[in-house]
Chains A and B, each alone.
Chain A
Amino acid sequence: MSGVTVMLSRMLKLPLLGLLALACCSRVRAPAVAMTDEAVPGLIEVELRSGAAAPAGMLLDRRAVEDDEFGEPLRREQDFELQVAPEDEEQVLISLRARDDVLWAEPVTRVRALWLPDDPDFSKQWHLKVAGAERAWDIARGEGVTVAVIDTGIAPVDDLDPSRIVPGWNFVAGTADARDDNGHGTHVAGTIAQSTGNGKGVAGMAPLARLMPIKVLSASGSGTSHDIAAGIRWAVDHGARVINLSLGGGARSLAMETAVDYARRRGVLVVCAAGNSGSRGVSYPAAYPASLAVSAVGPALKSAPYTSYGPQVAIAAPGGDKSLGEEAGVLQQTLSPDNPQVAAYRWFQGTSMATPHVAGAAALVESVGITDPGAVQRLLTSTATDPPEADDERYGAGIVDASAALRKATLWFGGWRLVLALFGAWFAIRQARAVQHLRAKDKPGPLFAAGLLFGSGAFTMLAPTGAFEKLQGLSLFSLPPAAWPAHFSVPLVAYAGFSAVVPLLLALPARLAQRPLQNAFGAVVAGLAFGQAGTLLHAGLFRTVDLPWLPAWGAALWLVLNAIVAWVVGRGLLSREAIR
């Protein structure tokens, strides 16, 4: 394998340096804060209930915190920044957290190169931080993914971007007007895709995702299994990639179960609330095998007292625990309880609030080109944070961490695609030399390497640096080029991505050259073909993409066959290097 190592170092030098330079340049422009993520020794931030006495330590900063213009009037709370001796920090934290008047206390850390939104109340959204949204936004923001919110509707409140709300349907009234008259659906939609970085209100998990309002619940928050099943099918047929079902009941409905199966078969992930019974027994639709059931945790990451639990729970997410105080709920914009015509920022709790954190995380993962619902689910569960206690029925695989899932989807998957592409190229070159199609001195150069890196989508490995999200127009580079056609939702063209069509078409003119590898276009196309072969093989072996025109087993077969075709295309270009 030393041949591979030599080739790798030779080929990677130039293009990788270029990409790294790009990433570094972007740092300069980024509206980032400090560059380390270490705890600042001895610095603690504490929030106290109103009237509580300040804790011991040198007081650096003290602010009264109160809800601003929109929300319900909240009690004033006090936010402190304390300096203590670094060696006492742990002890002080333990004693602070034990106090009844302390809402929370945590060491102050400097976060690394984050895109921090300027939404004024983002700092109160502990739940988005728990779900890993902050670091996830450096990699992706949900662009190009539609999430259906099957609920009480979505109200066009001012902290939701109207251009991101796609047409939906109202199954209660039988009209296209799916506006919310309860507030629940709007709150849920906010957690998924509240306008973020708009200098107003609060943030959402996947701010660039599209929201599809499907109203199946009346103003009083109840509905029928018939409407819910119809809503699921409507969402699937109108382009939703993720479905959020923050609703449930105790009765198993065959209509709903087959609708959930239909969604999953059509490549749509169905994320459901486990229920609020506070006891063992997950409600339906969460309990169906094809659903992803979500239980709720509070700010201390402990299972919330109201959450239902059971063997079907796949993952936990922050749903709030208001027994610890109002601000231990989930904060989003919704409707005022007194006047449903007026928007208000309110703290809700429930497994309904946990569910959209997972649906939002799923939208983020889908936006980096992982479109198979099974692959999205595996990514989310395999990267979930360990819960504070071992209890699979309450926490499933753990607490959702969108940032960890995205790092795995870009770094790890990008690495695999590159390794497979390099192996294919190495094998083809070795073989071409053995049959004397290629002379020993004909070595692949930087253009071949650039084609291979591009085709394999290796640059997605740079996504965690934040380069692609910070520079306008580069977000496409957080997904492999094979996923680009589908990203633009162009009919027919979308099918060209995960196939050998592009290298095949490009190889035709490239083959006209006598020695393609010595010709810039031919060298790039040969590299691209091996890169594409790596991408297709990875997608086939790891089942990461959903191909809507093929059943699951057919998709894997299609991808592997196309990987072979792409490899043959690359190998064919090598054979034109003939010395005979």
Chain B
Amino acid sequence: MKLKGKVEYRDLEGGTYELAAEDGKRYTLVGASAEVKALRGSRVEVEGSLDEGFGISMSGPQLKVARVRKL
């Protein structure tokens, strides 16, 4: 799936990155951490898949990042 939105940092569980998506939902971004970190605050398009959702963030669906691109 492809989603557009803004990468936001959340000071939770040591720091997580979320996608505030244009569909109104928030997704915890999992994987590709260096790229995601570098795009903090930017509008991006993320290509990835929803995983089972188990992890440390516990704050909503988890989007496993395959590719992320700055818009």
A residues near B (Cβ < 8 Å) are 151-152, 182-184, 187, 217-225, 228, 246-251, 253, 273, 275-278, 283, 306, 308, 322, 334, 337, 346, 348-353
Asked whether B56 lies within 8 Å of A247 as measured between CB atoms, the reply is: yes
Known interface pairs A219-B33, A334-B14, A349-B12. Does A224 touch B56 (Cβ–Cβ under 8 Å)?
no
B30: min CB distance to chain A, Å: 4
Asked whether A276 lies within 8 Å of B33 as measured between CB atoms, the reply is: no
Contact of A222 among B12, B55, B60 (CB under 8 A): B55
Residues of A within 8 A of B51 (CB): 222, 224
Contact of A249 among B11, B15, B33, B53 (CB under 8 A): B53
Residues of A within 8 A of B61 (CB): 250
Measured between alpha carbons, how far is A219 from B55 in the docked complex, in Å?
Answer: 11
Is B6 interfacial (CB 8 A cutoff)? no
B39: min CB distance to chain A, Å: 15
Asked whether B53 lies within 8 Å of A276 as measured between CB atoms, the reply is: no
Asked whether A151 lies within 8 Å of B56 as measured between CB atoms, the reply is: yes
Chain B contact residues: helix, strand, loop or mixed: loop
Asked whether A225 lies within 8 Å of B12 as measured between CB atoms, the reply is: no
Q: Mask for B37-63, Cβ within 8 A of A = 1, else 0?
A: 000000000000001111111111110
B65: min CB distance to chain A, Å: 9
Known interface pairs A322-B11, A348-B14. Does A276 touch B58 (Cβ–Cβ under 8 Å)?
yes
B64: min CB distance to chain A, Å: 7
Cross-chain pairs A/B with CB under 8 angstroms, 21 sampled = A184-B13, A219-B33, A220-B31, A220-B33, A221-B30, A221-B56, A222-B56, A222-B64, A223-B55, A224-B52, A225-B54, A228-B54, A248-B58, A249-B53, A249-B55, A249-B62, A250-B60, A276-B12, A277-B60, A306-B12, A350-B13
Closest-by-CB residue of B relative to A286 is B58
Asked whether A222 lies within 8 Å of B30 as measured between CB atoms, the reply is: yes
Chain A contact residues: helix, strand, loop or mixed: loop
Asked whether B30 lies within 8 Å of A351 as measured between CB atoms, the reply is: no
Asked whether B54 lies within 8 Å of A249 as measured between CB atoms, the reply is: yes
Residues of B within 8 A of A334 (CB): 14
Asked whether A249 lies within 8 Å of B52 as measured between CB atoms, the reply is: yes
User: What is the interface size of chain B, counting residues whose CB is below 8 A from a CB of the partner?
Assistant: 22
Closest-by-CB residue of B relative to A326 is B11
Q: Mask for B10-32, Cβ within 8 A of A = 1, else 0?
A: 01111110000000000000110
Measured between alpha carbons, how far is A334 from B56 in the docked complex, in Å?
Answer: 15
Residues of A within 8 A of B31 (CB): 218, 220, 222
Asked whether A223 lies within 8 Å of B14 as measured between CB atoms, the reply is: no
Asked whether A273 lies within 8 Å of B58 as measured between CB atoms, the reply is: yes
Asked whether B58 lies within 8 Å of A247 as measured between CB atoms, the reply is: yes
Asked whether B58 lies within 8 Å of A275 as measured between CB atoms, the reply is: yes
Measured between alpha carbons, how far is A250 from B52 in the docked complex, in Å?
Answer: 8
Measured between alpha carbons, how far is A278 from B52 in the docked complex, in Å?
Answer: 20
Closest-by-CB residue of B relative to A186 is B14
Known interface pairs A275-B59, A278-B59. Does A223 touch B13 (Cβ–Cβ under 8 Å)?
no
Q: A183-B14, A247-B56 are in contact. List 15 more A-B contacts (CB 8 A).
A: A184-B56, A218-B31, A220-B30, A220-B33, A220-B55, A222-B51, A223-B55, A224-B51, A249-B52, A250-B60, A251-B54, A273-B58, A275-B59, A350-B56, A351-B58
A96: min CB distance to chain B, Å: 26
Closest-by-CB residue of A relative to B51 is A222
Measured between alpha carbons, how far is A276 from B16 in the docked complex, in Å?
Answer: 12
Measured between alpha carbons, how far is A250 from B58 in the docked complex, in Å?
Answer: 8
Residues of B within 8 A of A306 (CB): 12, 59
Measured between alpha carbons, how far is A50 from B25 in the docked complex, in Å?
Answer: 37
Measured between alpha carbons, how far is A228 from B52 in the docked complex, in Å?
Answer: 12
Asked whether B14 lies within 8 Å of A248 as measured between CB atoms, the reply is: no
Asked whether A221 lies within 8 Å of B11 as measured between CB atoms, the reply is: no
Residues of A within 8 A of B52 (CB): 224-225, 249, 251, 253
Residues of A within 8 A of B14 (CB): 182-184, 187, 334, 337, 346, 348, 350
Residues of A within 8 A of B12 (CB): 276, 306, 349-350
Closest-by-CB residue of A relative to B14 is A348
Measured between alpha carbons, how far is A228 from B61 in the docked complex, in Å?
Answer: 18
B1: min CB distance to chain A, Å: 17
A80: min CB distance to chain B, Å: 27
Asked whether B55 lies within 8 Å of A352 as measured between CB atoms, the reply is: no
Measured between alpha carbons, how far is A275 from B56 in the docked complex, in Å?
Answer: 9
Asked whether A221 lies within 8 Å of B59 as measured between CB atoms, the reply is: no
Asked whether A283 lies within 8 Å of B30 as measured between CB atoms, the reply is: no
Measured between alpha carbons, how far is A546 from B60 in the docked complex, in Å?
Answer: 37
Measured between alpha carbons, how far is A445 from B33 in the docked complex, in Å?
Answer: 73
Closest-by-CB residue of A relative to B60 is A277
Contact of B54 among A152, A224, A349 (CB under 8 A): A224
Asked whether B13 lies within 8 Å of A152 as measured between CB atoms, the reply is: no
Measured between alpha carbons, how far is A393 from B2 in the docked complex, in Å?
Answer: 37
Closest-by-CB residue of A relative to B16 is A221
Residues of B within 8 A of A218 (CB): 31
Measured between alpha carbons, how far is A184 from B58 in the docked complex, in Å?
Answer: 13
Known interface pairs A220-B30, A277-B60. Does A251 touch B13 (Cβ–Cβ under 8 Å)?
no
A313: min CB distance to chain B, Å: 14
Closest-by-CB residue of B relative to A274 is B58
